[in-house]
Amino acid sequence: DVKVTQSSRYLVKRTGEKVFLECVQDMDHENMFWYRQDPGLGLRLIYFSYDVKMKEKGDIPEGYSVSREKKERFSLILESASTNQTSMYLCASSQLGQGDGKNIQYFGAGTRLSVL
Amino acid sequence: SQQGEEDPQALSIQEGENATMNCSYKTSINNLQWYRQNSGRGLVHLILIRSNEREKHSGRLRVTLDTSKKSSSLLITASRAADTASYFCATFRYSSASKIIFGSGTRLSIRP
């Protein structure tokens, strides 16, 4: 089974802190994604990566950056956390390619971040 | 902008009844997927239907797709308390570079 592991289930940080959210997948997937989920807004894509050191902005990249130094690991960085970044953060991975099974996404359990 | 919109936003039914959720989307797609999310957890893929398919079954799940109306429905038959969760549709297009776009979800509650 595909396993996507997010390093923390809950995090509490202070405004202005630098925050790292880590995600590791064990299925050799090329694609990795970071979403945030807020009530009534569904999932919004922050960034995604289709290869090591490659990244592409999603719908809401402002205030975030990412790092993908190894294929299995994708990190989301909040350079200076703000209260409006309090949210549930979800990491996902998928295979590269156009076959149907290749764009199914596998999710981690999520990190609930509170910025005080 | 959101590609998929689910209807209703929330649904509460008695255990044993059938639950139907609907999804509408705006542009052409190559496939549509349904995911489930238990409270406070990540999403889990349930079923995928291709754009050239009209209906698909998996256990107690039945998905339909009408590309002319740009809509899909998810039917869960003989609901159980464990089906309580949020359900999301997600659309995929080959031109989208592996990204899928999620709707806002339907929150399903099963009353015992």
With cut-offs at 50, 70 and 90, classify the pLDDT of residue A36.
very high
Q: What is the pLDDT of residue B1?
A: 40
Q: What is the pLDDT of residue B17?
A: 97
Q: What is the pLDDT of residue A103?
A: 85
Q: What is the pLDDT of residue B2?
A: 45
Domain borders along chain B are 4-111
Q: Which amino acid is at A98?
A: Q
Find out whether A81 and A64 touch, Cβ atoms under 8 Å.
no
Q: What is the pLDDT of residue B99?
A: 82
Say if B50 is an interface residue toward chain A (CB within 8 Å): yes
Interface of A with B in 69-98 (CB under 8 A): 88, 90, 92, 94, 96, 98
Q: What is the pLDDT of residue A99?
A: 72
Find out whether B110 and B11 touch, Cβ atoms under 8 Å.
no
Strand-pair partners of A70: A73
Per-residue pLDDT tens for B18-36? 999 999 999 899 999 999 9
Find out whether B101 and B40 touch, Cβ atoms under 8 Å.
no
Which of these, B88, B109, B92, B108, lies nearest to B6 by C-alpha position? B88
Q: What is the pLDDT of residue A2?
A: 65
Residues in chain B: 112
Q: What is the pLDDT of residue A113?
A: 98
Map out the domains of chain A with their CATH numbers: 4-97+108-115 (2.60.40.10)
Q: Long-range contacts of range B78-82, CB-CB < 8 Å, 24 or more positions apart? A: B78/B16, B78/B18, B79/B13, B79/B15, B79/B16, B79/B17, B79/B18, B79/B19, B79/B108, B79/B110, B80/B15, B80/B110, B81/B15, B81/B110, B81/B112, B82/B110
pLDDT tens series, chain B, 112 aa: 446 688 899 999 999 999 999 999 998 999 999 999 999 899 999 999 999 999 999 999 999 999 999 999 999 999 999 999 999 999 988 777 778 889 889 999 999 9
* Residue A90 to residue B105, Cβ atoms within 8 A: no
Handedness of CA A84, A86, A87, A92 (dihedral sign): positive
Instruction: State in words which class domain B4-111 has.
Output: mainly beta
Contacts of A107 in chain B (CB under 8 A): 42-44
Rounded to the nearest angstrom, the gap between the alpha carbon of residue A62 and the centroid of all alpha carbons in its chain is 14
Contacts of A96 in chain B (CB under 8 A): 98
